[in-house]
Amino acid sequence: MSALGDEISAMIASEGPITIERFMELALGHPELGYYMGRDPFGAAGDFVTAPEISQMFGELLGLWAAEVWASMGRPRPLRLIELGPGRGFRAAIEVTLVETSPSLAEIQHETLLTSGVPIEWRATLAEAPEGPAIVLANEFLDALPARQYVRSGGRWRERVVRVDKAGRLEFGIARESEPFILAPGEEGEVLEVNPTAHRLVFELAGRLVRQGGVALFVDYGHAITGIGDTLQAVRAHRQVDPLVDPGEADLTSHVDFAAMARSARAAGAAVYGPIDQGDFLRAIGVDARTRALTERAPPERAVEFESARNRLAGKNDGEMGALFKAMAIANRDLPPPPGFEPDPARP
């Protein structure tokens, strides 16, 4: 087992089983051994590939999107561009705050953005980001926040935990105590996921947008309607692996429940747009025109790359991201729908 696996099993042996939420927090964010703490997980040589890593077009289109949103806000100065979980970091054009927990990724972001000519600062949490009207971007961020799981057992919901088996290996179990406050129905054995950290973050962010102005865009792997099911997933070297084997060595995510996030945003008084398929969002904000412009100027082998990147980002076939990933915006209610989205049906 990984060093972190050993540490977690020692912790469980002395203190008892831990929740999935705690396990995910440790696997991703343990200060020395957590997955995001000491590595660059992206790209072909890493564990997974994200949209901005597939093609420059993704970042360019979000940059254009942000510029249009800024215009719709009346061009406030200074504009805060806040990115949650920026990964390797890509170029943007204003006063930028990057919210990043990982020191090693912050280092990479530093190097990438050193020559951008844009003032950039780093913060570990959204609450520490400077005040004022803001445009907030978060690609594959919410899926990294720690989820809780409950299993239907004997007509009740009991929390799913990680414990140690007789051989000292980590295994899933369920808590003895049930949760009388979860009233959702369920069939025996079904799994219910809740993400309190994501709820709190979206609620806090929506409150900020209501008070100080601005728009946030979330793009992530997830479902538009709250459903039942275990979506905890570990990925290492581009393959799904057992989440309990070698914690700290694999990326760990759960699907984003966009309907639940929308409820939090609305509860804080923000308007909600979408979620819509990533493919529809990218098409609406010009991925086809951008692909054409780039292919016309590129040598033939590069032209093919732009076409295939466009298909991978916006296509809806197997292996493409266009339908699996969703985009959702939350905004101050005084602003018009952001580019790419229809009006909020719940907005009076």
Among 17, 86, 247, 279, binds ligand SAH (CB under 6 A): 86
Q: Applying CB under 6 A, does 105 fall inside the site for ligand SAH?
A: yes
d(CA 139, CA 204): 18
Rg (CA), the chain: 21
- φ/ψ (deg, to 5) at 118: -110, 135
Nearest to 201 by CA among 149, 146, 121, 251: 146
Q: Applying CB under 6 A, does 144 fall inside the site for ligand SAH?
A: yes
Give the number of other Cβ atoms within 10 Å of residue 135's Cβ: 26
- Give residue 106's identity as a one-letter amino acid code: A
Q: Applying CB under 6 A, does 221 fall inside the site for ligand SAH?
A: no
Q: Applying CB under 6 A, does 139 fall inside the site for ligand SAH?
A: yes
Quote the least distance from Cβ 169 to ligand SAH, whole Å.
26
Quote the least distance from Cβ 250 to ligand SAH, whole Å.
13
* Site of tokens 């564990």: 47
d(CA 86, CA 106): 9
Q: Return the structure tokens found at 180.
A: 């009388």
Q: Applying CB under 6 A, does 141 fall inside the site for ligand SAH?
A: yes
Q: Applying CB under 6 A, does 85 fall inside the site for ligand SAH?
A: yes
Cβ(40)–Cβ(108) under 8 Å?
yes
Contacts of ligand SAH in 22-61 (CB under 6 A): 36, 42, 50-53
Quote the least distance from Cβ 195 to ligand SAH, whole Å.
12
Q: Return the structure tokens found at 21.
A: 């939420």
User: CB under 6 A: which stretch of 10-18, 94-102, 114-122, 281-289 binds ligand SAH?
Assistant: 94-102
Q: Applying CB under 6 A, does 140 fall inside the site for ligand SAH?
A: yes
User: How many residues at the interface with ligand SAH, by CB under 6 A?
Assistant: 18
Which residue number places its CB atom closest to ligand SAH? 85
* Site of tokens 């799913």: 160
- The residue ranges that bind ligand SAH (CB under 6 A) are 36, 42, 50-53, 85-87, 99-102, 105, 139-141, 144
